[in-house]
Structure 1
Amino acid sequence: METIQITSKSPQSDHPKVVVIGKFDGLHLGHQHLLETAKSLVTDEELAVYGFSDHPKWVLQEDEQYKTSLTSYEDLKRLLTDFGVDRYFHVQFNKEYAKTSPRDFVNEHLRPLSITHLVVGEGFRFGKGRGSDADGLKELCEEVGIAVTIVPHTKNHGEKISSTSIRTLVREGKMEAVQSMLGRPFEITGKVVKGEQLGRELGYPTLNLGQIEEYVEVKPAVYLGTVKLYPEAPDYYYTLISAGYRPAVNGDSYKVEAYIMDFSGDLYDQQVSVKFLRHLRDETDFQGLDALVEQMEQDEAYAREILGLA
């Protein structure tokens, strides 16, 4: 997949395209339905995504809830590639871009891309002050010969699937519900960095994930998950994931650590991906390290029972 950075107006592109527009945070089942719809319209055209870098509520209102994402930029590129997208237009959404009128959006940002067909969700809004909607987009695009398909909301148990609702569930630690909307487990990719190595002293060596600031913070708790080691080789292990502030050891910052079951080895500076499968228990302030170790032993025994590894 080719990635093209757009910082102002779109570049001229001659190859015909079927394009999907959106933020695509999480690439959840609703996004996937948009992409499937677009893919069904492709004959000789490229399948492309026109995606925004940041959420408007963060850029325009500085709402902290929208500062972080369900997927990092690198995650999203990998997921779109796996989906068969040929070209990704990564649009730098900023306050200047937000001033674009609906008509200028179509004429200056979409028309140069040689779009034959555009696919958007029914809740799509665009233009200065979110001044137009999907029907308005369809009318403006018809003037310049671009067909538009408006796709109804994808629902889960009667509720619209949205990145906002999934972010809320991540913050609440409800990983099974998150998976039902993403179509896969919630995943964080980071670089293994050196920690305080207390886990090693306690008999539970953990890897500490660094460079994860892009992601929504998971609820402080212990989770059952899997970890993928070494990007070039598909090595997966079950893991116990601790997310939070580590009150039992007087922690003062948010961290994500993973104890990999039945594995030993040096992973420092490796890129690893941790998937959250299930919430096991909330973060607790234990009275002493002995109580902490006892609980970790119980956590591992419970995880092994769930996995049939006991």
Structure 2
Amino acid sequence: MRIHHDWKGLSPEARGATVAMGNFDGVHLGHRSVIDAARAAADAPLGVITFEPHPRQVFVPDAPAFRLMNAESRANRLARLGVEHLYQLPFDALLAGLTPEDFVREVLAEGLGVRHVTVGADFCFGRKRSGNAQTLTQLGHDFGFGVTVAPLIGDGRNEYSSTAIREALAEGRMRDAERMLGHWHRIDGEVLHGDKRGRDLGYPTANMAVNGLHLPRLGIYAVLIDVLTGPERGSYAGVASLGVRPMFDGQVPNLETHIFDFRGDLYGEHVSVALVEYLRPEMKFDSLDALIAQMDRDSAQAREILAAR
């Protein structure tokens, strides 16, 4: 998948796609229906138009972290779905200030040269969200490309939504989140150097930052790990701690993942960690021996869960 960070100056082979357009936070089943509709709409390369940072981060910068995915995780998921071109447009004052007609003319028609655009029924765009799916349909006709409006979908009771997924994750209901996402909730990023306490305890971990993300319930998880770069690239099983490490008086949440039966070096590599099942909350133990004994139990439980899936 090729990632483009602007709509201007693109090469001819990067233009003329049929695209799905939206924020696609989480890339849940509702988002996938929009992407599948784009895939079926025209005989052209499949693209996705999205925005970085998320518009809500620009308009409400002091709001609590809400994103289900960072840009890297979203791109990885879209690549798995067969997207050929990701147009990750910079959401800034220039883009936010375009009227719906200016956005369609400058970005979609002149910049990207789109063949067809698919959006969800609740899609809004342009200055002060003044355009909607019906506006886009008319403007597409005026500027020479087709538009498909994909209906909102759900499970028969509720529409699939990022809000419902955030609620499930906050409560540690990972399988409910997976049912709405269509995939395990993942945290992707670079493996960072930590304080290496896990190695001293016999449980070396791959440490990742989680800043800017809506965090699932803090605690211990059974996880599946994809190492995306480097000589150890591959898929593994493990157990992870998401939280502030109360045993060591931590303050900033992070994700620490222990990969079962792994001896490689992952510093600086990029990994994707799928949170499969919540095991227990974070705890502060009376001693390191008590902590290690609990980590042994966590690992055994995680192995059993992952072996049975």
Same fold (TM over 0.5): yes
Aligned residue number for residue 72 of structure 2:
74
3-state DSSP class of the match of 2:135?
helix
Measured at CA, do residues 152 and 10 of structure 1 come closer, stay the same or move farther in structure 2, by a change above 3 Å?
farther
Q: Is the 8 A contact 1:13 1:114 kept in 2?
A: no
- For residue 80 of structure 1, report the CA deviation from its aligned partner: 2.8
Measured at CA, do residues 163 and 125 of structure 1 come closer, stay the same or move farther in structure 2, by a change above 3 Å?
same
Aligned residue number for residue 297 of structure 1:
296
- For residue 48 of structure 1, report the CA deviation from its aligned partner: 2.0
Runs of 5+ unmatched residues, structure 1: none
- For residue 225 of structure 1, report the CA deviation from its aligned partner: 0.6
**Aligned equivalents of 1:117 and 1:300: distance in 2?**
49
**Aligned equivalents of 1:136 and 1:199: distance in 2?**
55
Q: Which moved further from structure 2: 138-147 or 226-235?
A: 226-235
Q: Which moved further from structure 2: 295-304 or 238-247?
A: 295-304
- For residue 123 of structure 1, report the CA deviation from its aligned partner: 0.5
Measured at CA, do residues 30 and 259 of structure 1 come closer, stay the same or move farther in structure 2, by a change above 3 Å?
same
**Aligned equivalents of 2:187 and 2:302: distance in 1?**
20
- For residue 68 of structure 1, report the CA deviation from its aligned partner: 5.9
- Matched residue type, 2:2: E
**Aligned equivalents of 1:305 and 1:89: distance in 2?**
41
- For residue 247 of structure 1, report the CA deviation from its aligned partner: 0.9
Q: Which moved further from structure 2: 219-228 or 174-183?
A: 174-183
Q: Deviations over 1:32-67 (max 9, x none)?
A: 111111111222x222222111222220122433x5
- For residue 277 of structure 1, report the CA deviation from its aligned partner: 0.4
Aligned residue number for residue 86 of structure 1:
84
Measured at CA, do residues 114 and 229 of structure 1 come closer, stay the same or move farther in structure 2, by a change above 3 Å?
closer
Residues 1:4 and 2:9 are matched in the alignment = no
Q: Is the 8 A contact 2:73 2:189 kept in 1?
A: no
- Matched residue type, 1:278: E
**Aligned equivalents of 1:61 and 1:216: distance in 2?**
15
Q: Which structure 2 residues correspond to residues 138-153 of structure 1 after superposition, within 5 A?
A: 138-153=137-152
Q: Which structure 2 residues correspond to residues 255-270 of structure 1 after superposition, within 5 A?
A: 255-270=254-269
Q: Deviations over 1:239-296 (max 9, x none)?
A: 1110101112222221211122233343333332221100011112223323322322
The number of aligned residues is 305
**Aligned equivalents of 1:54 and 1:146: distance in 2?**
27
Q: Is the 8 A contact 2:222 2:305 kept in 1?
A: no
Aligned residue number for residue 213 of structure 1:
211
Q: Deviations over 1:70-121 (max 9, x none)?
A: 3332333333333332322221112332221122122222221333322110
Aligned residue number for residue 19 of structure 1:
19
3-state DSSP class of the match of 2:198?
helix
Q: Deviations over 1:97-150 (max 9, x none)?
A: 222112212222222133332211000011211112111221222222322111
Measured at CA, do residues 102 and 193 of structure 1 come closer, stay the same or move farther in structure 2, by a change above 3 Å?
closer
Q: Is the 8 A contact 1:188 1:215 kept in 2?
A: no
Residues 1:178 and 2:177 are matched in the alignment = yes
**Aligned equivalents of 1:226 and 1:270: distance in 2?**
16
- Matched residue type, 1:125: C
Residues 1:195 and 2:165 are matched in the alignment = no
3-state DSSP class of the match of 1:106?
helix
Note the aligned Cα RMSD (angstroms): 2.6
Measured at CA, do residues 47 and 291 of structure 1 come closer, stay the same or move farther in structure 2, by a change above 3 Å?
same
Q: Is the 8 A contact 2:70 2:213 kept in 1?
A: yes
Aligned residue number for residue 245 of structure 1:
244
Q: Which moved further from structure 2: 225-234 or 183-192?
A: 225-234
- Matched residue type, 1:173: G
Aligned residue number for residue 130 of structure 1:
129
**Aligned equivalents of 1:30 and 1:197: distance in 2?**
40
Runs of 5+ unmatched residues, structure 2: none
Aligned residue number for residue 41 of structure 2:
41
Give the fraction of aligned pairs with identical amino acids, expressed as a percent. 34
TM-score (norm 1): 0.87
3-state DSSP class of the match of 2:69?
coil
Measured at CA, do residues 12 and 195 of structure 1 come closer, stay the same or move farther in structure 2, by a change above 3 Å?
closer
**Aligned equivalents of 2:30 and 2:302: distance in 1?**
31
Q: Deviations over 1:144-165 (max 9, x none)?
A: 2322111111213522222333
Alignment counterpart, residue 103 of structure 1, candidates 101, 104, 108: 101
**Aligned equivalents of 2:88 and 2:301: distance in 1?**
43
- Matched residue type, 2:139: L
